[in-house]
């Protein structure tokens, strides 16, 4: 029997499991948006522990309108499922309560070529889970769909993105935000990470999805969610987006004080 409720896996580890404390922490993060709030097609946010990237994530999500449905595209850190795996849960639970899945959009997405339905890569995955409490605070009525994204060539990403865009437009395209969950370069020193990240973020700002993928490959930039980000960018483009605005860029060194081995964090919105 398929599990219908996805229970929190990293509560108490990546973020506090105490509801009141979690809500207060998130309200603090979202109190200062990275930019004046605007209607957006998509947004890029990091997915580390809140002490490291919660502020960047919160400020980015506070910079966009959170509509009735949010499609979360995240890095595939776990085994199981295919390249593009749509979660089959009906609800996602966090310490703040349960988020319902948008059943109509889920059905439409399940019929997109290249997407399979599997809970396997979602059981122990943190990349989508850490985003959800922010969505609950910003829009308590939000519904979600979640897709795990692994490595794929640009042409395949583009084809799946067009299918996702058609599925969204067949519902209510104006009422769906696409969130890409990705950290940037991993485990090099602060200056190297900022330099490498800038190469990828310059392509992102130029709305050059293929170039972003290529520079991550050629310069060994370990942006873990580059394919999820590519899928977000191309889906937004198919929906009518025309520009990307970089919001913030930093590293874990700013929090930990260890600048020798850091992880990069960035946020951006697609307009």
Does CATH place domain 5-270 in 3.40.50.620? no
What percent of the chain shows pLDDT beyond 70? 98
Is the pTM of the predicted complex or chain greater than 0.85?
A: yes
Q: CA 36 to CA 221: how far, in whole Å?
A: 30
Give the per-residue pLDDT at 204.
98
Judged by average pLDDT, the poorest of 110-119, 142-151, 165-174 is: 165-174
Give the per-residue pLDDT at 1.
43
* Residue 266 near residue 197 (C-beta atoms within 8 A): yes
For the stretch 31-73, pLDDT in tens is 999 999 999 999 999 999 999 999 999 999 999 999 999 999 9
> How does the average pLDDT of the chain come out, rounded?
96
Judged by average pLDDT, the poorest of 77-81, 163-167, 251-255 is: 77-81
* Residue 59 near residue 32 (C-beta atoms within 8 A): yes
For the stretch 165-208, pLDDT in tens is 999 999 876 799 999 999 999 999 999 999 999 999 999 999 99
């Amino acid at each position: 029997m398929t599990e219908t409720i996805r229970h929190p896996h990293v509560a108490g580890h990546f973020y506090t499991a105490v509801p009141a404390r979690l809500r207060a922490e998130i309200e603090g993060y979202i109190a200062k948006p990275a930019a004046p709030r605007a209607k957006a097609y998509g947004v890029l946010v990091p997915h580390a522990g809140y002490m490291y990237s919660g502020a960047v994530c919160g400020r980015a999500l506070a910079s966009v309108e959170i509509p009735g449905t949010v499609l979360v595209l995240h890095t595939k850190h776990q085994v199981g499922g295919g390249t593009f795996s749509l979660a089959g849960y009906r609800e996602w639970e966090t310490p703040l309560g349960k988020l319902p899945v948008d059943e109509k959009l889920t059905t439409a997405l399940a019929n997109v070529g290249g997407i399979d339905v599997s809970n396997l890569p979602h059981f122990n995955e943190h990349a989508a889970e850490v985003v959800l409490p922010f969505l609950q605070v910003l829009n308590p009525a939000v519904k979600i769909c979640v897709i795990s994204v692994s490595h794929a060539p640009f042409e395949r990403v583009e084809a799946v993105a067009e299918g996702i865009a058609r599925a969204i437009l067949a519902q209510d395209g104006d009422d769906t935000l696409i969130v890409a969950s990705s950290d940037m370069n991993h485990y090099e020193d602060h200056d190297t990470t900022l330099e490498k990240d800038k190469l990828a973020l310059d392509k992102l700002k130029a709305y050059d999805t293929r170039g972003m993928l290529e520079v991550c490959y050629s310069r060994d930039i370990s942006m873990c969610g580059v394919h999820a980000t590519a899928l977000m960018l191309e889906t937004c483009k198919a929906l009518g987006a025309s520009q990307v605005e970089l919001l913030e860029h930093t590293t874990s060194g700013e929090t930990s004080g260890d600048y020798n081995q850091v992880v990069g964090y960035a946020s951006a919105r697609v307009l």
